[in-house]
Homo-oligomer: A and B are copies of this chain.
């Protein structure tokens, strides 16, 4: 499964890098690139960690749960979820106030972040005690950590659940 995904990803990367070269060179001449943001569109006003290690450190030191969003730019499901997520004021507020946030387009080496496989979009919560909350799931039994734009109410209630820590003392 992982191998297959990796192969597909390799092919995609190779394709896009060879295709991208002429485009890229043309693009440089034609227009200035828009600087990449850490938010990648999931909430420009939120504060995002860059790496998983950094996010874990913040979660522990600020005693906040970590929310990890796996997504891809060329995945329409990721894109539609992102749009809904970024526009949902209640979720943005809760995320801003009570969560350490990380969005990734590349898998980490921590297998706990893929309890039922590597797919996108996929959202995992990590307790400040450094435990991945595999118990906080969406509504799809075949992809337990996937959400659709229509699932934002469930996501909000899952965020509330993640705020109830596994251990009260670290």
**Does A108 make an interface contact (CB < 8 A)?**
yes
Contact A44 B35 (CB under 8 A): yes
For chain A, which range describes its interface: under 10, 10 to 19, 20 to 34, or 35 or more residues?
35 or more
Those of A66-116 within 8 Å (CB) of chain B: 96-98, 104-109
**Does A51 make an interface contact (CB < 8 A)?**
yes
- Which residues of chain B are near A54, meaning CB under 8 Å? 105-106
Q: Measured between C-beta atoms, what is the minimum distance from A9 to chain B in Å?
A: 4
**Does A154 make an interface contact (CB < 8 A)?**
no
Using known A-B contacts A32-B45, A51-B50, A53-B106, determine if residue A165 contacts B9 with beta carbons closer than 8 Å: yes
Q: Measured between C-beta atoms, what is the minimum distance from A161 to chain B in Å?
A: 12
